[in-house]
Amino acid sequence: MNVIRTLLSPRGAVFLLLAGLLIAVTVISPSFAEPGQLIRFIQRVAPIAIVAIGQYFVIVGGEFDLSMGSLITAQVVIAGNLIGQDAGRIFPVLALMLVLGVLVGLVNGLLVTLLKVPSFIVTLGMMLALLGGVMYWTGGAATGNPVDSFRQLGRGGIRGVPVIEILPYSVLVMAAVLAAAIWLTRTSFGRTVIALGDNPRAVRYAGARSWWVTTSTFVISALTATISGILLVGYAGVHPKVGQGYEFIAITAVVLGGVVLGGGRGWVVAAMAGAFALEALFTLLNFAEVPSTLRDGIQGVIIIAAVAYSASPLGGAKRKAAPPAPPQTSPPDGKEPVAPAHLGS
Amino acid sequence: MTTNIFDAPVPDTSSSTAPVLRATDLSKEFFGVRVLHGVSIELYPGRVHGLVGENGAGKSTLMKILAGVYQRDGGTVEFNGEPVSFSHPVQAMDAGLATVFQEFNLLPERTVAQNVFIGREPRRGGLVDQKGMVTRTAALLKDLGIDFIDPAARVSRLSVAEQQIVEITKALSHDAKVISMDEPTAALAGHEVELLYAIIRRLAARGVAILYVSHRLREIFDLCDEITVLKDGAFVSHTPAAELDTAELVRLMVGRSISTYFPSALEGTVPGDTRLQIRGGGNDWIDGIDLQLRAGHITGLAGLQGAGRTELAEAIFGAAPFTRGTLAIDGREARITSIRAAVRSGIALITEDRKAQGLALGQSVLNNALLAVRSVFSRRFAAAAAALPGVLNTLELSSRGTDQEVQFLSGGNQQKVVLAKWLLTKPRIVVLDEPTRGIDVGAKVAVYQLIRELARDGVAILLISSELPEVIGMADTILAMHDGRIVAQLPAGSSEQDVLAAAVAAPIGGTP
Amino acid sequence: MSTATGRGRRQLDTTAIVFIALAAVMAIGAILVGTVGRNFLSPGNIRDILTSMSVLGFVAIGQTLVILGASLDLSVPYVVSLSSLIAADTMAGSNARILPAVLAALGACALIGLANGLIVTKLKVHGFMATLGMGLVVKGYLDTQYKGTSGNVPWNFQLIGATGIGPVPISTLLMLGFAALVALYLARTRTGNHLFAVGDNVEVSRLSGIRTARPVIAAHMLCSVFAGLAGLLLASRLGVGSPTVGTQGGYDLLSIAAVVLGGTLLMGGRGSVWGTIGGVAIFAVLDNVMSVMQLNPFLKEVVRGVVIVLAVAIYTGRSIARRRARFGPDAPPPAPGPRDSARGPASASAPSPGHDAREARR
Amino acid sequence: MRRKAVMTLAVGAVAALALVGCTTDPTVTGPGASTTPATTGAAAESSTAPSTPSTEWFDQAVYDEQFAQRSVTPEGPADKPYLQHINAEMVSTAKYKSTGAKKACFANASISNPWRQTGWITMNEQLKELQKSGAISEMETRDAKDSDDTQIADIDYFINEGECDVFIISPNSTAAMTPAVERACKTDKPVIVFDRGVQTDCPVTFIHPIGGFAWGIDTAEFLNDNLQSGDKVVALRILPGVDVLEQRWAAAEKLFKESGVEAVDYFTGADPVEIKKIISDELAKGEVKGIWMDAGDGAVAAIEAFEDAGKALPVMTGEDELSFLRKWKDTGITALGPVYSNFQWRTPLLAAADIFAGKDVPKEWVLPQSPITSADLDSYLTANDGMPDGHYAKFGGEDLPGYPQIWQKRVIP
């Protein structure tokens, strides 16, 4: 029921948009709808969908993470330089990458929560520092791609699957991340994150460790950036450009998914659908052979239009500390309950 | 533009003059639900008209129609004999019909003067005359007898009472003929209420018609010349104040009489051991706090706004912890340095500002009610979730369901969600800071009933209230605070005068 | 006793903090520059710093307005480029066409700003997304319409970017002059005042009779016009228009960082243009010192990132307004009076603003 | 409010004070020989490129010139390509002749891509050698981070504060940097420009490989030779609006049109993820026979897209970046490695030494630019064994002291 209602609401706009774009692509190139092609499409979206999921937690908790792109780049370069052609180093380096991811998230989160610096600024600084640091360390270029066995995660898949021929590992990873994210949104942690985006004081006065909850969202976002980096190094290889701009793509995807910038409202599945819609748009532009110089313009118009459409009266404007008083006498379900019965008893 | 009303000639205030405002047969629907029907009211210059009724009776809707916030569906409004229809609050303001809303309509980051003149900043030579704004605001404040508000100060640095005064100043700057006030004293302490009374009487003496909405019946009787009662969106009665008493008024409001406003202690309530013992507690805002809360015992805390009551509550709750003195829970010394530690120790605080600190308004009833348990006692979460329907039932929460967002609930129901949130943590010490502020009589009684039940169940209770009858009616022991210190301890049943004297007058307890 | 002063000991004005930080950065910079045998205060160095302030300064002044209105403008780099191109193309080397070129460039920018403002206020799209999208649209236009640098700026117009009075470039003086005008606009015009109000709380502003869309639209238009002025200045310095000159400078994020560094709340309602100029100056001094020190360009980014966060951290740490202590070392001398408790800032129901603002608006 | 008023006053006061000492900075004067604006137009028109670059990048005259230069055998030492020059018109530098170690000031556009990073490393090793030989005392470098505005300020800073003996400028863009370069020339110190040019001939020498059209010709001819009319080529371009890149495409596009090869171009930002997506989509639409790149950065991802789609590998032109050369070797595709000679980063400092020695230098120092073919692939791979993927095969620093560790570790100063 809940799902259906959401689909029909303005917040479900992203699903309509996605469906429209996919249909348009299929009309232009019917082979796109073949299962084999479709699964390749999903494989390609997986890294973006995963960072969108990570960004969702940060945004719904009322913050921004602009450092995701640089973190992806850092992880990609680390994989290239430290794993190299030695398959035996995959697991130690993987562990190192996860530690780095957690560390970046912790630093972001703690600067935001303990030093009270706006997350926009903290993660902007982290974005500059991480990218600069990695470039300094590598002299701007990685040694080379990591071993193929490591890259399989982003590039390969289970072959011989009926209908779709190949089931890319990244699709499985994305499904796992999504499942974990959905589960997380239903846990106490997930509910607290949303409440935090809604009213941080109320959460603090309920005894929650809000600093830790917020920090955790940054850790989650950094971890999804790490996972995305692992998939991308497989999908495309090592390059300092990999990951660039992913923070804006992720934020755009999340907002397209109807999540309110400022927090307190949004659905993780819709955020992921936002990522799919964005990528379907790129694909459509590719298939439609739109002149390459025009693409950004079209993308801009569609983003504005889609966000405008999904901006419902409740979600469109940011809510301030004291939200506008709700209609005091007019809950849609009827009158206010007054004079409870036990008065007389 | 800002001709001072005090310079205006004093009009004849006898009741024979024509009403300055006459609203006839007003009706209003929301989503097909009638929230106001057939309501009429007349306001006369120089007279204070009380408007009472429970939450949902239609008072706010009526005010907002008069103020131009809502558009009426039916009926007529005449102002100064002319039929009017305001489509925006500012139209009403400009016409001379000002409203002081319950929610403060001030901008915290702007100065007092900028707030007073917002939207119609005076200009000189084409530029906004900031200096002129300050001077004129200072003059308006002076006419109200207020010399302690700096017109150039940022509103965020003012106390609630001061902000209230700024609201009234704003209304005055419009040269208002009618000022309606929605629960203006809700956030004020006793002597501040006196100040407001003085201001209102002064306004009335100058011929302004006042529409006064309050849940505090005593104020209605103190101030009002006549009283209109609404119930369920309909007109009930219009009577000169002198012809009514409290009991009769309550009967008119709720449709039946309440024999005892404050429920008495429940059977089986036994004062038990000391739950919380504070000796010499203090921090930057309070000092020398000696306090003992006992199981099954209700300690009332009276004091003026700014006396340090909320600071004491926040110190106990770890939000602004004690930095001096000792604190013991159940006889064992404890250190409460965070809210989390307090909640873990079984302390709950129902904060005075439920929208700012109590609720995440965009979240569901369910998620708000479970917020504290899941934040602190994750292991007890399943049990709490299972217990939730029962608790909500006990509190008689009225909502569409547990997935309804709390922003759509009435104040009383919102407060019940806050109470549910804390009940689910199974607290052993409950601090209630102004638990009945801005909620209707019915909900109030439910809160009182709950406090009694908690006491019976062996919970230690600290009840903080600006409403002296509430403290006196409920507490087994009454403490008075002044200037950050507890200055007096009075027995149950003390008179309001005694408590007030203790809270206002020179310290009794000996601290200098 | 006046409460204003009683409550007073008004905390250090935020703009003052910014300038103290600037002074500190300059002092450290002067020492560092001295270690490599250079003079921080030499005319050439001052000129270098001031020059790098000019363009970012123009953009940041506009960005301040938008942020005060609780919006954001990420489209500025593309508007900067567009303005430089329209100006250089229209001038086409002719002195006589300077005025029409300036008007055309600024007019186009104003239109973009108008579109931004309308999207934000009427379509209720968050400024972040609206201007991100608008930036892409303008970028698409630039990429389609222009192939590389274009136009020709006459020498008279180039003088604006190339001349100085002593070590002070004309462009910096112009920038400061415009900053003064904007300061005046904010303090002394109704739209300026209303911009603060709307940024502070839209609902209250609306109920107070402010047409809430207007100041925000005006802010967006002014922001784009200021980006256009930056583009004009760049055209003057480059001698041509360039479709990439805006993105080269990274003016979107840098201007936002400068505004926040200057003490303006990212969520609007409070801030000042002079603080922003201070923030821009901090960046300029930092860049100058790092360049003189010949720091590795990649490490420069690291330093920038760290400084942005730390500087804002120091500022936010300072600006948390505490409730005035009644007891303890910070407590004011006891001044009992009949109304003392009424005026007490310790009032609980008016939770300390900094405290509130902290959590409510990040 | 009062604060604002004070600030406003302060600004006014500063302005007033400044007016008292009103001086126009002596280094800032009009372009051309005279300082009067009247000559501006003439000076601009006399420069090597039109003052208003046309909306089309193609320029038949330059195209023809570069077409011819490709087949010219360069003059100069055979084992030092970075000192060779093509069709050089030598100019005397006698007036700069002076003894002692000189200070070089280098205004660099950026080191934001692997090509520039590799060159920058080489340049610094060259510097060390010249410092040892006593020709150059030090080099002060300012990096403009890809910003025209910053680079103009950098050059002005050098003029005012640098105490420079020679200016070396790698312009961030052609037209925009012209006035600043002219200001540097006014100091009467030698000015050396390399990589991208400027629209003035005031520098002593302008060092560059043959150019973008030559790249486009080499690559398009290669693809045309190996493909049929009607075959599809996907052109992967980094970004629009950069002249050295646009000229490559302008030449190639012309040749593709002539041969009937169907070419479709995309901007990739050199991001391999973008590249892979674009190729995947193209492969989903139909057959792709060839890949053309305006820079080899990210070439591997393009080949991998074919591999992953299970399609026949294309005929391809990349660059001499090692990642591409290695993938080329691994897959055995039909390919060409066009070169935008990275060794040109050695030449400016050597030219400076020559200038102070009073030796004649080419006015326009056109360096050889010959692509790597399948015939020399192996030798370049062997020569650059152990170098990182972002290294460029024709970096030309094999005889410098730090070779090979400095490049292998990619030590960026």
In a domain, B101, yes or no: no
In a domain, C349, yes or no: no
Share the mean pLDDT of chain D.
Answer: 86
pLDDT in tens, D288-320: 999 999 988 889 999 999 999 899 999 999 999
**What is the model's pLDDT at position C344?**
31
Q: Which of D12-16, D235-239, D282-286 has the lowest mean pLDDT?
A: D12-16
SS3 for A89-101, per residue?
A: HHHHHHHHHHHHH
Same domain? For D251 and D144 the reply is no
In a domain, B199, yes or no: no
On chain C, the residues whose CB falls within 8 A of the CB of D3 are 13, 15-16, 272, 274
Cα–Cα distance measured from residue A128 to residue A115, given in angstroms and rounded to the nearest whole number? 19
On chain A, the residues whose CB falls within 8 A of the CB of B381 are 188
Same domain? For D248 and D385 the reply is yes
**Phi, psi torsion values for B347, nearest 5 degrees:** -100, 140
On chain D, the residues whose CB falls within 8 A of the CB of A145 are 300, 323, 389
- Residue B480's contacts (CB-CB under 8 Å, 6 or more residues apart) are B301, B302, B303, B486, B487, B488, B489, B490, B499, B502, B503, B508
Q: Does residue D87 surpass a pLDDT of 60?
A: yes
- Look at residue B315 and give its three-state secondary structure: helix
Exposure on the CB side of residue A164, measured as CA atoms within 13 A: 16
CA distance A175 to chain C (A): 28
Q: C152: how many CB neighbours lie within 10 A of its CB? A: 23
On chain C, the residues whose CB falls within 8 A of the CB of A122 are 309
Per-residue burial over A271-281, b if 16 or more Cβ lie within 10 Å, else e, is bbbbbbbbbbb
CA distance D66 to chain A (A): 28
Is the pTM here over 0.90, yes or no?
Answer: no
Q: Roughly what angle, to the nearest 10 degrees, separates helices A295-310 and A246-256?
A: 40
Q: How many domains does chain B have?
A: 3
Q: Does residue B389 surpass a pLDDT of 70?
A: yes
Same domain? For B347 and B319 the reply is yes
On chain A, the residues whose CB falls within 8 A of the CB of C112 are none
- Look at residue B192 and give its three-state secondary structure: helix
Q: Is C351 on the interface with D (CB under 8 A)?
A: no
Range of the domain at D110: 73-211+341-370
Q: Are strands C164-165 and B485-491 parallel, antiparallel or unpaired?
A: unpaired
**Running DSSP on this structure, what letter comes out for residue B149?**
-
Same domain? For B139 and B128 the reply is yes
Joined tokens for residue B114 = 């900028």
Q: Which among A195, A201, A340 has the least Cβ separation from residue B367? A: A195
pLDDT in tens, B98-143: 888 866 688 988 999 999 998 889 988 889 999 999 999 999 998 8
Q: What is the CATH number of the domain that holds D255?
A: 3.40.50.2300
Amino acid code (one letter) for D249 = W
Cα–Cα distance measured from residue D274 to residue D268, given in angstroms and rounded to the nearest whole number? 6
Q: What is the CATH number of the domain that holds C264?
A: 1.10.3470
Same domain? For B437 and B374 the reply is yes
Q: What is the pLDDT along chain A (345 residues), one digit of tens a residue?
A: 555 665 556 667 889 899 999 999 999 988 888 888 899 899 999 999 999 999 999 999 999 999 999 999 999 999 999 998 899 999 999 999 999 999 999 999 999 999 989 999 999 999 999 999 999 998 877 778 899 999 999 998 898 888 888 899 999 999 999 999 999 999 999 999 999 999 999 999 999 999 999 999 999 999 999 999 999 999 999 998 899 999 999 999 999 998 888 888 899 999 999 999 999 998 999 888 888 788 889 989 988 988 888 765 443 333 333 333 333 333 333 333 322 323 223
Q: D330: how many CB neighbours lie within 10 A of its CB? A: 10
Mark which of B226, B257, B288 sits at the end of a domain.
Answer: B257
**What is the model's pLDDT at position C325?**
58
Per-residue burial over B254-275, b if 16 or more Cβ lie within 10 Å, else e, is beeebeebbeebeeebebeebb
Range of the domain at B117: 106-175
Q: Which among D237, D278, D391 has the least Cβ separation from residue A286? A: D278
Same domain? For D388 and D267 the reply is yes
pLDDT band at B56 (very low <50, low <70, confident <90, very high): low
| Sign for the pseudo-dihedral over CA of D46, D47, D48, D53 | negative
pLDDT band at B497 (very low <50, low <70, confident <90, very high): confident
Same domain? For B304 and B450 the reply is yes
Q: How many domains does chain D have?
A: 2
In a domain, C335, yes or no: no
**What is the model's pLDDT at position D125?**
95
In a domain, C126, yes or no: yes
**What is the model's pLDDT at position B265?**
85
Q: Does A236 contact D301 at a Cβ distance shorter than 8 Å?
A: yes
Q: Does residue D16 surpass a pLDDT of 90?
A: no
In a domain, C108, yes or no: yes
**What is the model's pLDDT at position B470?**
85
Q: Does A140 contact D264 at a Cβ distance shorter than 8 Å?
A: no
Interface of C with A in 289-328 (CB under 8 A): 296, 298-309, 312-313, 316-317, 320
Q: What is the CATH number of the domain that holds B362?
A: 3.40.50.300
Mark which of B132, B150, B175 sits at the end of a domain.
Answer: B175
In a domain, C343, yes or no: no
- Residue C107's contacts (CB-CB under 8 Å, 6 or more residues apart) are none
- C·D CB contacts under 8 A: 178
In a domain, B196, yes or no: no
Same domain? For D99 and D245 the reply is no
CA distance D344 to chain A (A): 19
The residues spanned by each domain of chain A are 14-318
Same domain? For B337 and B382 the reply is yes
Contact between C24 and C334 under an 8 Å Cβ cutoff? The reply is no
Q: Is C223 on the interface with B (CB under 8 A)?
A: no
SS3 for B394-423, per residue?
A: HHCCCCCCCCCEHHHCCHHHHHHHHHHHHH
Instruction: Pick the residue of B103, B253, B363, B376 with the most A CBs within 10 A to test the interface with A by mutation.
Output: B363
pLDDT in tens, D243-254: 888 899 999 999
**What is the model's pLDDT at position D27?**
43
| Residues of chain C falling short of pLDDT 70 | 1-12, 317-362
SS3 for D50-88, per residue?
A: CCCCCCCCCCHHHHHHHHHHCCCCCECCCCCHHHCECCC
Same domain? For D185 and D200 the reply is yes
**What is the model's pLDDT at position D170?**
96
**Which helix H or strand E contains A142, and what residues bound it?**
none
The subunits that touch chain B, with at least 3 C-beta pairs less than 8 Å apart, are A, C
CATH of A14-318, one of 1.10.287, 3.30.1660, 1.10.3470, 1.10.10: 1.10.3470
Q: Are strands B209-213 and B226-231 parallel, antiparallel or unpaired?
A: unpaired
Same domain? For D278 and D390 the reply is yes
**Phi, psi torsion values for B291, nearest 5 degrees:** -145, 140
First to last CA, chain C: 36
Residue of C nearest to B103 (CA): C204
Q: Does residue D202 surpass a pLDDT of 50?
A: yes
pLDDT in tens, B338-363: 999 999 999 999 998 888 899 999 99
In a domain, B197, yes or no: no
Same domain? For B322 and B338 the reply is yes
Q: How many domains does chain C have?
A: 1
Same domain? For D245 and D206 the reply is no
**What is the model's pLDDT at position C328?**
55
pLDDT in tens, B157-179: 887 778 888 988 888 888 889 99
Helical spans, DSSP H, in D113-211 = 114-132, 148-161, 174-186
| Sign for the pseudo-dihedral over CA of A109, A111, A117, A122 | negative
CA distance A190 to chain C (A): 19
Instruction: Pick the residue of C112, C118, C136, C207 with the most A CBs within 10 A to test the interface with A by mutation.
Output: C136
Cα–Cα distance measured from residue A223 to residue B218, given in angstroms and rounded to the nearest whole number? 60
In a domain, B510, yes or no: no
pLDDT band at B53 (very low <50, low <70, confident <90, very high): confident
Q: Is D143 on the interface with C (CB under 8 A)?
A: yes
Same domain? For D136 and D169 the reply is yes
In a domain, B85, yes or no: yes
ipTM of the complex: 0.86
pLDDT in tens, B419-457: 999 999 999 999 999 898 777 777 888 899 999 999 999
**What is the model's pLDDT at position D143?**
94
Question: What DSSP line would sit under B228-285, residue for residue?
Answer: EEEETTEEEEEEEGGG--HHHHHHHHHSS--S-SSPPPPTT----SEEEEEEEEE-SS
Q: Are strands B209-213 and B347-350 parallel, antiparallel or unpaired?
A: unpaired
Strand order in the sheet with B82-83: B82-83, B74-79, B21-30, B33-43, B234-240, B226-231, B48-52, B209-213, B178-182, B97-100
DSSP-assigned beta bridge partners for residue D337: D372
% of chain D with per-residue pLDDT over 70:
87
Q: Does A329 contact B30 at a Cβ distance shorter than 8 Å?
A: yes
CA distance B266 to chain A (A): 14
Same domain? For B339 and B473 the reply is yes
Same domain? For B372 and B456 the reply is yes
On chain B, the residues whose CB falls within 8 A of the CB of A340 are 396, 442-443, 445-446
On chain C, the residues whose CB falls within 8 A of the CB of B149 are 3
Mean pLDDT of D349-359: 95
Same domain? For D304 and D156 the reply is no
Same domain? For B24 and B86 the reply is yes
Q: Does residue D385 surpass a pLDDT of 80?
A: yes
In a domain, B114, yes or no: yes
Q: Does C309 contact A111 at a Cβ distance shorter than 8 Å?
A: yes
Contact between B188 and B164 under an 8 Å Cβ cutoff? The reply is yes
Cα–Cα distance measured from residue C24 to residue C183, given in angstroms and rounded to the nearest whole number? 25
% of chain B with per-residue pLDDT over 90:
44
Cα–Cα distance measured from residue D128 to residue D136, given in angstroms and rounded to the nearest whole number? 9
